[in-house]
Amino acid sequence: MATATAPATDTHHDAHDPHATNTGISNNKLAMWLFLSTECLLFGALISTYLIYKTRGSGEVLPTDLFDIPFTSVSSFVLLMSSLTMVLALSAFGRNDLDRGKAWLLVTAMLGAVFMGGQAYEFTAFYEEGLGYTTNPAASAFYTLTGFHGAHVSIGIIMLMSLWVAANQGKLTGKNSETVEIVGLYWHFVDLVWIFIFTVIYLIPPE
């Protein structure tokens, strides 16, 4: 139908096939990719803000004084492992192995929850050591950045639990494993951002 000069992705496009897209990527997945690319800018701005402010405290306590690297390493490891279980969940749904899929979803959500627990503990400990949200610009920037990341993890947990409920109701099966994949994209992204934050914020010592 289309002339030979049209790119291959277009020539096989059939107007009567509602699922064909020009790029070959489904609309939902492409939208998630685009959305995640905008999130890069969101976290980029927050991370930059922290980096500018990390020593702005005029003699008071700074976040860098309080970092507990071993503790945060453990919670980072937990979050990193949740990416593995997310992949296992997707793989199980891809094979239509719903029981395993559900189990891995649950494990992923729980690992995320453990990470959130770690963040809650960290915030509490920092607060008790005198670093409140309003203490100084460095503190505001630290809590805002990590708090935003925590909010993203929490939303991810809600999404995972929604998938789990839907799978239990029989509404999520191997046929729509792409939904699991899309939530997985989000989850991996949030993980990746944390790896970046952990490296740049926690591991690199202040000058």
Partner 1 sequence: MAIIEEPLALTSGEQHAERPLGVLTRPQANGSWKDWVSTVDHKKIGIMYGVAAMFFFLLGGLEALLIRTQLAFPESGFLSADVYNQIFTMHGVTMIFLFVMPFAAAFANYLIPLQIGARDVAFPRLNALSFWVWLSGAIFLNTSWIVGGGGADCGWFCYSPNSGITFSPTNGVDFYAIGLLITGIASLVSAVNLAVTCLNMRAPGMSLFRMPVLTWMLLVTQFLLAFALPVITVALLLLLFDRQFDSQFFDPEAGADPLLWQHLFWIFGHPEVYIIILPSFGIISEVIPAFSRKPIFGYSFMVFSGIAIGFMGWGVWAHHMFVSGIGPISVFAFSMATMFIAVPTGVKILNWLATMWGGKLNFSTAMLFAVGTVTMFTIGGLSGVTHSLAPADTQQTDTYYIVAHFHYVIFGGGVLGLFAGVYFWWPKVFGHLLDERRGKIHFWAMLIGFNLTFGPMHVLGLQGMSRRINTYSSGFGFEFWNLVATIGSYILGASVLYFLWNVYMSKKDAPNLPAPGPDPWDARSLEWSIPSPTPEHNFDEIPVIESQDDWWFRKYNIEDDGSVVRISSAEDAAQKGDAVGVHLPSPSFWPLVLAIGLPLIGYGLIFNLWLCVVGGLLTGGAIYAWVLEPVDDPDAGAHGHDDHHDGGDPDGELATVGAAGDDTEGEG
38 binds partner 1 (CB under 8 A): yes
27 binds partner 1 (CB under 8 A): yes
Part in contact with partner 1 (CB under 8 A); list of ranges 65-73, 113-121, 159-167, 193-201? 159-167
Interaction mask 129-148, partner 1, x per CB under 8 A: ----xxxxx-xxx--x---x
Structure tokens at 19: 């699922």
53 binds partner 1 (CB under 8 A): yes
Contact 177, 197 (CB under 8 A): no
188 binds partner 1 (CB under 8 A): no
- Which one, 48 or 124, has the nearer CB to partner 1? 48
82 binds partner 1 (CB under 8 A): no
3-state helix, strand, coil in the chain (%, to 5): 75, 0, 25
Contact 187, 153 (CB under 8 A): no
**In this chain, which of 84, 97, 174, 192 binds partner 1, going by CB under 8 A?**
174
CA–centroid distance for 122 within its chain: 19
Residue with the two structure tokens 């891995």: 104
**In this chain, which of 178, 192, 196, 202 binds partner 1, going by CB under 8 A?**
178
Q: Which of residues 107-126 bind partner 1 (CB under 8 A)?
A: none
- Which one, 92 or 139, has the nearer CB to partner 1? 139
Part in contact with partner 1 (CB under 8 A); list of ranges 29-37, 70-78, 116-124, 196-204? 29-37
Question: Running DSSP on this structure, what letter comes out for residue 199?
Answer: I
Q: How far apart are the first and last CA of the chain?
A: 64
Count interface residues toward partner 1 (CB under 8 A): 75
**In this chain, which of 74, 121, 176, 200 binds partner 1, going by CB under 8 A?**
176
Enumerate residues 6+ apart whose C-beta is below 8 A from 73. Answer: 198
To the nearest whole angstrom, how small is the minimum distance from the Cβ of residue 197 to partner 1?
Answer: 15
Residue 17 — φ and ψ, nearest 5°?
Answer: -100, 105
Residue 68 — φ and ψ, nearest 5°?
Answer: -110, 90
